[in-house]
Amino acid sequence: MGVNLQNYHLTILGCGVMGGAVLNAILKSEFTPYPASITACVGSEQEAVSLRKTLDSKVEISYGEHNTEAVKKADVIILGLKPYLFEPVIESVKSGLADGDKLLISLMAGWTIDDIKPYSKYVARIMTNTPARFGCGTAIVSLSKEAEPYEEVVMNLISTVGKAMRLPEKNMDAATSLVGSGPAFCLLMMEAMIDGGVRMGIPYAVAKECAAKVMEGTAKMVMETGEHPASLKSAVCTPGGTTIGGLMVMEDKGVRSGIARAIEEAANIASELGKKK
């Protein structure tokens, strides 16, 4: 029968950091087809009361045993659960999935399309990151074969976080590392730049602002010029100057390989998460 996308109902099952970030991004955006109605599901009444204070009154809020009904009436469900909670939560609302014609959009690390398919053959697997909260996140999207006809609605929903791109599912562990863990790696670099500025006498608040704007501006420069980062980096290096001196110290300390190996290690851990279920 397929997924109904005519005046469809969207349910967010799990409104923690990532589920809440995607929901907020959707609420701030306009696209077609837009959900006719939205329900946000959390685990307890206390969480529901807290969430109500932050959401538009048009969004319904469900919790606990009421979540089964929220799942049942949904046409599209975003799975924003912590990975270790997926099995107990999905089993508790399983009766609401009995018709098997819902589009399931998973934000959970480690859970493959095949893991989720027993609940619906229409599955989209997403890896996004915390900047999604501010509409400047990145999302990698993989679809089951059966979900391919619904690519447009998936991309429209997920593009609200910032930038959404398609990749085969085999690349999802690497995407989990580069995209999902990437903000933490960038923040460590930013923190080090701030510390360096403070060490050389710049007040912390100013050093923080400078480091953040330098990273923001550099990212924009890469995106807008389309040039290789190495080319842009070379343009900053005056012969015998400060920049090349600093870069040589970073190379001596293994900064480049340390960052690259961090991506590799995080990807390896992501692949192990899937095996531990």
What residues are designated binding site for NADP(+)?
13-18
DSSP type of residue 117: G
Give Rg (Cα) of the chain: 21
Query: Which has the closest alpha carbon to 191: 180, 178, 207, 172?
Result: 207
Contact 172, 127 (CB under 8 A): yes
Residue with tokens 């953040």: 212
Q: At what angle do helices 182-199 and 255-275 cross, to 10 degrees?
A: 150
Task: Report residue 164 as tokens.
Answer: 């959404």
- Cα(155)–Cα(161) distance, rounded to whole angstroms? 10
The residues, ordered by sequence, that sit 6+ positions from 237 with a Cβ below 8 Å of its Cβ are 243, 244, 247
Could you tell me which residues are beta bridge partners of residue 124? 105, 143
Binding residues: 13-18, 67
Which residue, 195, 142, 130, is CA-closest to 167? 142
Contact 105, 79 (CB under 8 A): yes
Torsion angle, alpha carbons of 210, 211, 212, 217, to 10: 80
Q: Which residues are part of a known binding site for NADPH?
A: 67
CA gap 82, 224 in Å, rounded: 35
Containing H/E element for 138? strand 137-143
CA distance 34 to 10: 9
HSE, CB side, 13 Å, CA atoms: give it for residue 118: 8
